[in-house]
Amino acid sequence: MKRLNSIILLCAFIFSTCKSTTSTMATNDNATQKPDASIQETYWKLIELRGKPVPPPPQDKREAHMILKKQDNRLNAFGGCNTLSGVYEMKEGNRILFSKVISTMMACPDMTTEDEFKKVLEMADNYSIKGDSLSLNKARMAPLARFVAVYLK
């Protein structure tokens, strides 16, 4: 009987040890996940427009991107040919509205990405961020645009 009690106690100890190890492992996994990037003051590289990948820029050109400046809620962006600027307003529930979006007027051989980027900014009414990824959305539709955070050195 003493032997049976000893075996039961040993099993209980082993199971309690395994459980605490599992909890510690889960906590460590959560600790290694990156926090969500901030929508403001982050360089957001445009990677997708309306479900289509944004082609890489020619070797001597900059990539399409945007930065939302905290000061005066200013939008600073580049569409692939022209500089875009405007203002944005953030509201509760990850809602965002862009307005007064203007651009320089340089003519380039292919303005497709830039024209679509500008339209998307004017349509977007909310955003979502997960880690280093940002999506601009309209209502509950598929994302209008996707971005990835680029951390400059």
Beta strands (DSSP E) in the chain are 43-49, 52-53, 65-69, 74-78, 83-91, 95-103, 126-130, 133-137, 145-150
Section 57-79 average pLDDT: 94
What pLDDT is recorded for position 143? 96
Question: What phi-psi label fits residue 124: left (phi over 0), alpha (psi between -120 and 50 degrees) or beta?
Answer: beta
**Which band of pLDDT confidence, cut at 50, 70 and 90, is reported for residue 2?**
low
Question: 41 in the Ramachandran plot: left (φ > 0), alpha (ψ -120 to 50) or beta?
Answer: left
> What is the model's pLDDT at position 4?
47
CATH class of the domain at 43-150: mainly beta
Q: Give residue limits of the domains in the chain.
A: 1-33, 43-150
Q: What is the mean pLDDT of the chain?
A: 83
Q: Give this prediction's pTM.
A: 0.75
User: For 16-64, what is each residue's pLDDT tens digit?
Assistant: 444 433 333 344 444 456 788 999 999 999 999 999 999 998 888 899 9
**What mean pLDDT do residues 87-101 have?**
96
Strand partners, 99: 87
Percent with pLDDT over 70 in the chain: 77
Instruction: Read off the pLDDT band of 78 (50, 70, 90).
Output: very high
pLDDT at 137 over 60: yes
Residue 151: per-residue pLDDT? 80
